[in-house]
A and B are shown apart, each in its own frame.
Chain A
Amino acid sequence: MILFYVLAILLIGSAIFTVTQKSPVYSIVGLLANFLTLAALYFTLDAEFLGVVQIVVYSGAILMLFVFVIALLSSGIGPFSEGPNRLPRVAGPAALTTFVAFGFLAFAVLHAPLALPPAHASVSTVGPVGTANVFGSVGDFGVALFTVQLLPFEVTAFILMVAVIGVVLLAGDAAPQRTRGAHERRAKSADREPIVKAGR
């Protein structure tokens, strides 16, 4: 119980830290803390495999992606420069709207019957961490992924392929830089073939 509350505070704190920092680099650090805390939470919920996936994929790959982009875009060590604020005084209404939405969600959650399990039966049993094929273990997850839930697996593959293609299209092959001393010299006008005789 205490563990839960500690992790919860860490989670929320790191989230707020991420969102409120001026420099993206600090935000990245906050995000890292958030992901790690979330992985810990997953472990407390008997989702071992997912916890590891969280660390490896999220903090290992996605965060690195963010870091590289920051490196690519930053012109210095300081915070990114920002232009004039085109939408002033929006923080208040935005916060209010967010808070109101949250309020409704909270109200709904508090009045919802959360304890009713769905109709279909569970597929595995809960057991101590480390045993094979208990709920949340790699074996259990693998069996489900490749038999019952094959479709999400295939869809996942498809999504990843789409992502790769998209990234290559978007960020590769940018307009080539004009370099000094180009390989192809500009053709002199005298060398050009006259396509149209200018009626002489």
Chain B
Amino acid sequence: MISLLVVLWLVPLGGALAAWAFGPQLGRAAGWLASALAFVSFACAVVLFPQASNATGVGQTLVTWIPGYTFGLRLDALSLLWTLVITGVGGLIHVYSIGYMWTDRAAARFFAYLNFFLFAMLTLVLSDNIVGLLIGWGLVGLASYFLIGFWFERPAAVAASRKAFVINVFGDTGIMFAVFALYAATGSISYADIFARAGTLPVGVLVAVCIGLFIGAAAKSAQVPLHTWLPDAMEGPTPVSALIHAATMVTAGVYLIARFAPLYNISPTAQTIVSTVGGITMVTGAILGIAQWDIKRILAYSTMSQIGYMIMGVGVGAYQAGVLHFFTHAFFKAQLFLGAGIVIHALGDEQDVRKMGGLARRMPFAFWAMLLGTLAIIGFPFFSGSYSKDAVIYGALEAGHPLLYAAGVLTAGITAFYMFRMIFVVFFGPDRTEVPDELLAIPPPARAAHAEAHAASHAPAWLMNAPVALLMIPTVAAGWLSIGGNASPWYRYFGTMFGTSENVAGPSLPIPEFASQLIVYAVVTVGVVIAYRRYGAPAAQSGAIERLRAEALGMPRALRRAFFVDDIIAAAIVRPARALGSAIVEIVDPKVIDAGVRDVAWLAGALGLVARALQNGLVRSYALTIVFGAACFLAYFAVLGAGR
């Protein structure tokens, strides 16, 4: 009797292999197969929900290799939540992709990769040991590489996928060393043993492990300074951006820190680092989001910022709050990306917001979808995002970090500003889709990147619209699970799984929770109003073309170059690495390796020359050789004594 948990885990792998192997035969059916299998996994998770929704959950040991080295799966409250999101939202995105990739000839390969990603992510969250975690971690990075570079004929996509993979590998070294250290220090790879022995770890090892794990999390979750791959990852198809770079893969870092809560709880230094980096990312992402003109890049920076919120939340010890924000963010970010995908698809692969405008009249469904998502992300009252964001921000205050609290409030205002900037520019005002590029100050190369227009899609509209419609419900309502504070279903679901953090210094300011919420709402309102006056008001819309052009030309260089982070990395790391590679190719390869091989060949030739001299056919020479041999014999027997 195969355990349902194993079925849950392996079904997407089967789908990936089938779609990969029988792609040409399956054709469009590959998409249906992949989606169905994703929902099969979702159904398994739902069936296991009653048993699994607690701290121990359902376990299944797969392989026992040596004592202290057993591989298995465990579906407990934390991994169950992630599994439901991965398979549920993932399944919806699969269906959406059937429509999005309707005319793409390589669609079967796409679905193979998507299912493979599901399998990889499930491996990551379902493992009950650090080695399985590491394996899933690497596989997820690989899946991301495949999917970002899916349209591999485009050099920009290839470069972006390579960049994402390299930065992820950088993080992988951090988490790898942390895993090695954990095994060396505790002698076991399973979470249960490690957490049981966590108290016996020396402080230095503990902090190093936590920091190593966080380096991996920072790369995977696009925290500063390892964030530069995320905006470039938008070169992939929009469903990929929705699934991987919004809802699931980038949240793997959050999962990691939440999973290792027992370790972080007793290591205040590491927690401070985590929450600080999360806070910095939060603010940076929001500021950079103001300066973007590509609709997907706006959403990418907003993702970066929101994950900063999550990281900050779990960094200060407010695990339930941080994970709640992951939960709500998965829905409304997927909603935003899929809606943006509908817009992009309808406009023939146009992604620049300057070339959109007034689309509320043309595409009301997409407009309402994106409006709902935007309201959720800024934390509009009663929308899902507000509950989670307020919980995170207040959690920072409760844990005694007034600076992070202020940063969170400020970021909420900036988020409101740039998200509504997007809404107003895209959906309001005059229709600018036919305005020539120069008038809007769009540089020519940016055009060519999107020059391949998708052929007009003949896909049934419901394929792309139904998932978006379905996502509207949790976008609005997902946060309602946490109403009621510690007695709410959300908090009771997790129970005492996360323990309490040592880093809690107690509330620094005596502000009750509802007062904090009012402060946040006020800041958000300010942001919306500023955006309205700049972009949404009738006065602004009349001169929209000139205003947008002026804004594009007047953008400060620091913002345009994303605070120069890419340039710094290029100068400090990429160029020396390239120089080293060139040096090896130009110097080591010909002079050392080739020369070595050549010298071996030369040696053979030289030996041959010597041998040839001996074989000259002259009797005298042969006689001399015989005498020489006899002399050697005599020497041996004379010196060492014969007859032994």
Contacts and interface: CB of A to CB of B under 8 A. Distances in A.
Touch between A and B in complex, CB under 8 Å? yes
Interface of A: 86-87, 90, 93-94, 97-98, 100-101, 104-105, 107-108, 111
Contacts, number: 37
Contacts of A87: 616, 618, 620-621
B624 interface: yes
B22 interface: no
Interface of B: 616, 618, 620-621, 624, 627-628, 630-631, 634-635, 637-639, 642
Q: Which of B618, B621, B631, B637 has the most CB of A within 10 A?
A: B631
Contact of A108 (B620, B621, B638): B638
Nearest to A105: B634
A102 to B, nearest CB: 9
Given A108-B634, A108-B637, 9 more contacts: A87-B620, A90-B620, A94-B624, A104-B631, A104-B637, A105-B634, A105-B638, A108-B642, A111-B638
B634 A90 contact: no
Secondary structure type dominating chain B contacts: helix
Secondary structure type dominating chain A contacts: helix
B628 A97 contact: yes
A90 B627 contact: no
A86 B624 CA distance: 14
Nearest to B623: A94
Contacts of B639: 104
Q: Which 10 A-B pairs have the closest CB atoms?
A: A101-B631, A104-B634, A108-B638, A104-B638, A107-B638, A104-B635, A87-B618, A94-B624, A101-B634, A97-B628
A97 B635 CA distance: 12
A93 B625 CA distance: 11
Nearest to A108: B638
A101 B620 CA distance: 17
A101 B635 CA distance: 7
A86 B628 contact: no
A98 B627 CA distance: 7
A105 B621 CA distance: 22
A164 B642 CA distance: 38
A94 B638 contact: no
Nearest to A94: B624
Contacts of B627: 94, 97-98, 101
A107 B628 CA distance: 17
A105 B627 CA distance: 13
10 contacts: A86-B618, A87-B616, A90-B620, A93-B624, A97-B631, A101-B630, A104-B637, A104-B639, A108-B634, A108-B642
Contacts of A104: 631, 634-635, 637-639
Contact of A90 (B621, B630, B631): B621
Contacts of B616: 86-87
Nearest to B635: A104
Contacts of B618: 86-87
A104 B616 CA distance: 29
Given A107-B638, A108-B638, A108-B642, A100 B620 contact: no
